Structure 1
Amino acid sequence: MRSPLEDGAWLELASVDSTQDAAANLLRLHDDAAVPGVIMTTDQTAGRGRFGRKWHGDPGDSLAMSLVMKAYRDHPKPYLIGMAVAVAAVGAIHGHLRWPNDLLLGGRKAGGVLTELLPDAEGRLVPVVGLGINLNQKGFPEEIADLATSVAMYHGGEHDAAAVGHSILDRLCRLPEPDSWDALEPLWMLFDETPGKHYKLPDGREGVAIGVGPDGRLLCSVGGETVSTMAAEAWAAGVPAGS
């Protein structure tokens, strides 16, 4: 894959509400050459994940970055770009994947990926992949303590956010072009922990994951029926597993 740094600079911000919102504003207001390829911070005050959920880490403890994938404007399958970034990220933290975007360490969520199509100054859609990783937290609130973890809690040590970010980009460059699931599938499967996980479908039904099927869609067993979907949500103990 082509690195976003081939088409723009690395911009590190001391603090920002959302790297995704920063990317959206820069794309909308500036010519292509002025838009960075990566926007990164360790203090994101109003980050968000899938379904509009807030993602907020303590200052200095998390990596938040947005990859502005200019080379993939108007890409027909932007979700494959996000899944490729997830593969690169989980390799960098030595974890596992839960469809479609969760980075796991020891079965608990350590991060996630959000892919959005954002218009540039000419109105073309640019895939922007937001990435959040818990790096140096030593604990979490009681309500999510059984669901969340950090790289430091799982692997020990202290972890530099910029170094982890560059490691992700280095791995991304070695991945195949995100043109088809066939090319990405064997790499995703090296890290996949999706089968057996519980998911909630948009219609409210709950099912158990069989695995990831053609085109990167989730295959889920629901009442004896196999359902293929791109919109299911990981679910655990009556609450979203990514909370």
Structure 2
Amino acid sequence: MRDFKNRIYREFPLNFIFFKKYRCYYKLTSTNIVLNEFLENDVTDINVIVAGKQTSGMGRRKNVWYSPPGGLWMSVSVPDILTDEDLTIFNIQCGITVAETLTTFIKNEIGVNEKIFVRWPNDLILLNKKLGGLLINMITEGEQKREIILGIGINVNQTVFPESLSDIATSLLIVFKKRLSKSKLLWLILKELDKMFLRLSKGEKWGIENKWQGVSYELGKKIEIEMGNLKKVGRALGIGQKGELLLEDENGDVISIFNGYNLRIENK
């Protein structure tokens, strides 16, 4: 394992059930990559990795995630509490939890009721622009699940974006004209994830379809979504019991989409 000690910014214990210690770095390739290396080498006491900047941040489908200073870039190890059934909707559950936490954070810190939405399956949306996203990385040995890492990226205090992103991305600072504490946001997210993990460990059910109604960005709207070489167009009805997107096409047929990307609202 590579030695990251010379780049450690700080390391603190955490007073949560599932998160016991976090380590923060000035700069890393990717928090997911570093946490994976720790887990591969049985360094299990560090549950959370945070970076001030990522040079090779990862999004869905191996897309590069722009991760400059100012954002909150973090990865957490997921405890071994998930059944196969849980895994199918875990991505959606995490997105709902982080979106709701951000909405509360904005209200408490800025005093406005501005809701954060989730664009299926895991994009965080603020005022029709991307504020952040989540990435689930499942590490296997053969056919067996070994580890799960949850990566979270949120644009907090950035002031500008590259030209290629300026029309589609935003930050909390750009929208609300106020610098916010990334440490406080980190703590709140860990607190709510810890609660969610505890509920899952007890076998509690979420009623996830109903929760999705409250945060879905595309619900009831006409959308276009890519599936491999195909594009599907229709009205978003919500999600199914396994977290799949339910789409009503022009013939009135309901399509279940488990793996789609580049979801776009038509006539926004």
User: Shared fold (TM-score greater than 0.5)?
Assistant: yes
Q: Which amino acid aligns with 2:247?
A: C
Count matched residues: 231
Inter-partner Cα distance in structure 2 for 1:79 and 1:66: 20
Inter-partner Cα distance in structure 1 for 2:84 and 2:25: 28
TM-score, normalisation: structure 2: 0.76
Aligned to 1:201: 227
From 118, 131, 135, the counterpart of 1:110: 131
Aligned to 1:38: 48
RMSD: 2.7
1:1-243 to 2 correspondence within 5 Å?
A: 6-32=18-44, 34=45, 36-59=46-69, 61-72=70-81, 75-94=84-103, 95-119=116-140, 124-175=145-196, 176-177=199-200, 182-195=206-219, 196=221, 197-208=223-234, 209-224=236-251, 225-236=253-264
Please say if residues 155 and 171 of structure 2, whose CA atoms lie closer than 8 Å, have aligned partners that are also in contact: yes
Please say if residues 73 and 127 of structure 1, whose CA atoms lie closer than 8 Å, have aligned partners that are also in contact: no
Q: Which amino acid aligns with 2:125?
A: L
Please say if residues 82 and 200 of structure 2, whose CA atoms lie closer than 8 Å, have aligned partners that are also in contact: no
How far did residue 48 of structure 1 move? 0.7
SS at structure 2 position matched to 1:23: helix
How far did residue 131 of structure 1 move? 0.4
Identity fraction in percent = 22
Q: Which amino acid aligns with 2:167?
A: D
SS at structure 1 position matched to 2:161: coil
How far did residue 12 of structure 1 move? 1.1
How far did residue 81 of structure 1 move? 2.6
SS at structure 1 position matched to 2:230: coil
SS at structure 2 position matched to 1:205: strand
Inter-partner Cα distance in structure 2 for 1:52 and 1:168: 24
Change (3 A) 1:170 1:237: closer
Encode CA deviations 1:83-135: one digit per residue, 9 max, x unaligned: 22222221232211111000000111100000011258xx7522211000111
Encode CA deviations 1:181-233: one digit per residue, 9 max, x unaligned: 75333333221112223211224122233321222111123453321021111
How far did residue 77 of structure 1 move? 3.3
Inter-partner Cα distance in structure 2 for 1:117 and 1:8: 21
TM-score, normalisation: structure 1: 0.83
Please say if residues 7 and 71 of structure 1, whose CA atoms lie closer than 8 Å, have aligned partners that are also in contact: no
Please say if residues 31 and 50 of structure 2, whose CA atoms lie closer than 8 Å, have aligned partners that are also in contact: yes
Q: Which amino acid aligns with 1:199?
A: I
Bigger relative contact order, structure 1 or 2 (CA pairs below 8 A, ≥6 apart): 1
Please say if residues 19 and 66 of structure 1, whose CA atoms lie closer than 8 Å, have aligned partners that are also in contact: yes
Change (3 A) 1:6 1:235: closer
Inter-partner Cα distance in structure 2 for 1:16 and 1:89: 23
